[in-house]
Structure 1
Amino acid sequence: MYDAEEFKNAGADGLVFGILKEDGTINIKACCDILKSVNIPMHLTFNRAFDCVADPINSLDLIKNLGFSRILTSGQKNSALEGKDLIKQLIKVSDNGIIVVPAGGVNEDTALEILDYTGAKELHGSVRKPVKQKFDRNSSITMGSTDFDNNVLITDVNAVKKVVSILRKYI
């Protein structure tokens, strides 16, 4: 709750979060506690925790009723392309009441197929490429990575432009 309050106080106009119980149901109390702490109105997106819910169709309505306007999902698969059947079904049953946003593995190679198959109007992706770091570092410190070639992932501007171009032509 503290983070949500800090973001709101700093001027953020939206939050992305999702909280589940161990049984794969939405943790309504925990979500409501956060929502009360920021005193909606804010743009709210339920994150890919949605991909772990036990009942995605019923969870969709529950999330909408909590005040979320979007759900990020890979269709309960490793990527949105793999989960496109469920994503398509979710978009159909959402009836424009909540925006279902395909996420996970979305890039310039998958965007058009995902959009075309699911009927989605938005996409979420982190279109990145590995780039060699330009400085030497102590290679015994991994900084959370096991990449010993000193690569870092950065946004691939050309790939982003391709995805945006696909979206503009499609929508």
Structure 2
Amino acid sequence: MTALELAVQDAAGIRVAAELGVDRIELCSALSLGGLTPSAGLIAAAADSGIPTHVLVRPRAGDFEYDDAERAVIVDDVRRACLHGATGVVVGGLRDGRVDEALMSRIVAAADGAPVTFHRAFDNLSDLDAGLDRLTALGVTRVLTSGGAARAEEALPVLARLVSRADHDIEIMAGSGVRSDNVERIAATGVDAVHASAKRTVTGRPGVALGSAATDGGGYETVDADEARRLLGILRSTEEAR
């Protein structure tokens, strides 16, 4: 079965995920920045939903080459996320274009048996195959990847190759640009899961813009329940047809 992981960044998204019964939540904040570590309260709310909740741990926007202070924050946030009810964590770190093995070893230890997903920092590796091998050896549970392309649908042969190389020792989850009009083709590569945000924009009340990335419209993004339902329905019907 191809699982559906829904990227969620607010209480409304948690509610949609629970109502639809998606397989897993990736919980974060600031999804428009690629996702940042969510608050303890949001983690607890997601955990209470009954949907397996994997918490994104990312201390800042930008690249994935972290200094010692940032690494310490990441490891501490992994521990705290698990204490607040996270089922698993989603993390990533690079060093000179390769997996930051020392950081990932600390993260796997801090997760204390909880599943660890290496996020799309993977797509910035200079050698995806070698990176997959290293993450498998480090005890990472799964990799979230677009196959090194901007969107997963642009790298279907690469995704299929990674699935074959993983050989069930580590899960491959396809993400980036996953929508109801392409999810069937992406799932056909044999990936264990697909990751989608299924976003829609809510019109807010105009006011003073806060932050350099803000607009003055007061709008924000949240989960589109209809799109998430379509994604889940396609994946389920595909499995039933097999």
TM-score scaled by length of structure 1: 0.89
1:99 alignment counterpart: 171
Deviations 1:92-137 (A, max 9, x none): 1111111100000011122112112x1223100111011211x342
Identity %: 26
1:87 alignment counterpart: 159
- Classify the secondary structure of the residue corresponding to 1:123: strand
1:108 alignment counterpart: 180
Determine which of 207, 210, 219 is the counterpart of 1:137: 207
For 2:87 and 2:138, locate their aligned partners in 1 and report how far apart those are by CA, in whole Å: 17
- Classify the secondary structure of the residue corresponding to 1:81: helix
For 1:157 and 1:76, locate their aligned partners in 2 and report how far apart those are by CA, in whole Å: 28
1:26 alignment counterpart: 99
Structure 1's 49 and 8: CA in aligned 2 closer, same or farther, altered over 3 A?
same
1:69 alignment counterpart: 141
Matches within 5 A, 1:23-62: 24-38=97-111, 40-62=112-134
Backbone CA RMSD of aligned residues: 1.6
- Classify the secondary structure of the residue corresponding to 1:15: strand
1:120 alignment counterpart: 191
- By relative contact order (CA 8 Å, sep 6+), the higher-ranking structure is 2
- Classify the secondary structure of the residue corresponding to 2:229: helix
What displacement does 1:142 show? 4.1
TM-score scaled by length of structure 2: 0.64
For 2:220 and 2:83, locate their aligned partners in 1 and report how far apart those are by CA, in whole Å: 32
What displacement does 1:146 show? 4.6
1:170 aligns with 2:238: yes
- Classify the secondary structure of the residue corresponding to 1:149: coil
What displacement does 1:151 show? 2.5
- Which entry has the higher C-alpha Rg, 1 or 2? 1
